[in-house]
Amino acid sequence: MALRELRSKAASTLWRDLRPCVSSARPNGLRHASSNPLDDLESSSSLSAPPPSNDIIKSWDPVVRTRSRKTQLPPSRYQFRSPKFYRGPLHPHQPPPPSDPSSRLFQPGPFSLPRLEQTYESTIAPDLLTMTYAHTPPGWVKPPKAQRLREWVGDSPYFKNRPLRGPRGGAHLRLLTPPRNFRTIPKLTGVTVHSMVPAAQDDSAYMHVAGMIIQAITNVRVTTHRARKSVASWGLRDKKFVSVTAKLEREDVYHFLGKLVDVVLPRIKEWKGVKGTSGDSSGNITFGLEPDVVAFFPEIEVNYDVYPPKMIPGCHITIHSTATNDRDARLLLQSIGIPFYGKMVN
């Protein structure tokens, strides 16, 4: 409320203060994506120029100058905005690369160097490389594998021009595991924290509390999801908001996993670890946390009275990595400090 008033007030007062003193022939702040920003850079510093002489200072009357101007000067704001939609490679207006601050995809940062990331780069990655190194003599050629998508072989005339058959043992093609080298060491790429709150269908307070808690523990704004169809046995109703998700990237991942491994997981009573059968065989491993475990997160614990205790949700945590199978992903997570138990399924 106060912020909104402040903004309008600030806009009017800023406009009042605005006294543009530079006029140029071409419109200010106009820059094409294709033009070189270095051209805008001044070659010499303005600090090295001598101050204006006394005559100029005496004769300078900004009020008269402003009054004599017919039209308002264009603002000196930097007005380049990246196009909202990509119109194809042949369109003259191309978006800047995502690393450019003017891009819509630009993410500033990183603003911190998490301990877990430092540990990964200095210790875990070299150790994983050493552990999983498999030697192939120079000149060794990998024996060719059978066709992954098989052809239809037979006398039936319908086999002609038919799309290839799917792979054996499943409907979809599994990821290929490249040979291990210094570029293919598994790495953490993201974390998805998902919390399903069916009680939110009747009382939206559950949804809001869950969103606030997930947002607090992950440092990421949550997105909400609706039930796609009614499932009577789960008590789901069509098109009702039932869950929240936070997708973590970059430094948030390391901060979140660091908290999880160092603070939260050691405090769970009788916890055996993550099930060895977890994983989608493409490098992502999921496990769940009970509501009382979610309350162990330091952000929740210091502020426990703020949340209604019955509304604290449990959550599912999916850890994404560049590993291409469960075995590699599990080894990476174990080296980070997440234990596994039971039968290991690859």
Partner 1 sequence: MPPSRSLFPFRPTFRPTSTSQLPQTCLLRKTFTPTSVSTLPHKPAPFSSSSKLLARKGKGDKSDPRITSIRYHLSHALTPRPLRLSRLRALRHWTIHRAWQLHRSKQRAAAELSLEKQYASMRAACEALRLIDENGMTGRNVGRLYRAAMDKTGVWDGVPIEYARCQTDFPAREGWNHGWTR
Residues 147-176 that bind partner 1 (CB under 8 A): none
Q: Which of 214, 342, 198 is nearest to 279 (CA)?
A: 342
Question: Which residue of 82, 94, 103, 119 would you call a contact of partner 1, by CB under 8 A?
Answer: 119
Look at residues 313, 19, 39 and name the one whose alpha carbon lies nearest to residue 195.
313
**At its nearest, how many Å lie between partner 1 and the CB of residue 238?**
25
> Alpha-carbon distance 163 to 151, whole Å?
8
The residue from 23, 107, 122, 177 that contacts partner 1 (CB under 8 A) is 122
Compute the distance between CA of residue 297 and CA of residue 258 in angstroms, rounded to an integer. 11
Q: Are 194 and 319 in contact (CB under 8 A)?
A: no
* Residue 258 binds partner 1, judged by CB under 8 A: yes
Q: How far is the CB of 58 from partner 1 (least distance, A)?
A: 19
Residues 55-94, one symbol each (x = binds partner 1 by CB under 8 A, - = not), give ---------------------xxx----------------
- Are the CB atoms for 196 and 288 separated by under 8 Å? no
Q: Does 95 bind partner 1 (CB under 8 A)?
A: no
Closest to partner 1 by CB, 68 vs 161, is 68
DSSP code string of 268-301: STT---EETT---SSSEEEEEE-HHHHTTSHHHH
Given the rule CB under 8 A, which of 10-18, 150-158, 190-198, 232-240 is the region that contacts partner 1? 10-18
Binding segment for partner 1 (CB under 8 A), chosen from 4-12, 141-149, 163-171, 227-235, is 4-12
H-type helices in 288-337, by residue range?
Answer: 291-294, 298-301, 326-336
CA distance 206 to 210: 6
Q: What is the phi-psi region of residue 7: left when phi exceeds 0, alpha when psi lies from -120 to 50, beta otherwise?
A: alpha
CA distance 253 to 80: 32
**Binding of residue 331 to partner 1 (CB under 8 A):** yes
| Per CB under 8 A, 268 contacts partner 1 | no
Figure out which of the listed residues 95, 116, 247, 323 binds partner 1, where binding follows CB under 8 A: 116
Alpha-carbon gap, residue 286 to 199, rounded angstroms: 23
- Under a CB-based contact definition with an 8 Å cutoff, are residues 329 and 287 in contact? no
Q: Kindly tell me which of 121 and 280 has the beta carbon lying closer to partner 1.
A: 121
The footprint of partner 1 on residues 293-312 (CB under 8 A) is 305-308, 311
Is residue 105 a contact point for partner 1 (CB under 8 A)? no
* Near partner 1 by CB under 8 A: residue from 101, 144, 163, 178: 101
C-beta closer to partner 1: residue 110 or 166? 110
CB of 198 to partner 1, least distance (A): 18
Binding flag, residue 103, partner 1 (CB under 8 A)? no
Of 33, 73, 125, 295, the residue at the interface with partner 1 (CB under 8 A) is 125
173-202 footprint of partner 1 as x/- string (CB under 8 A):
--------xxx-x-----------------
How far is residue 183's CA from residue 331's CA, in Å, rounded to a whole number?
A: 17
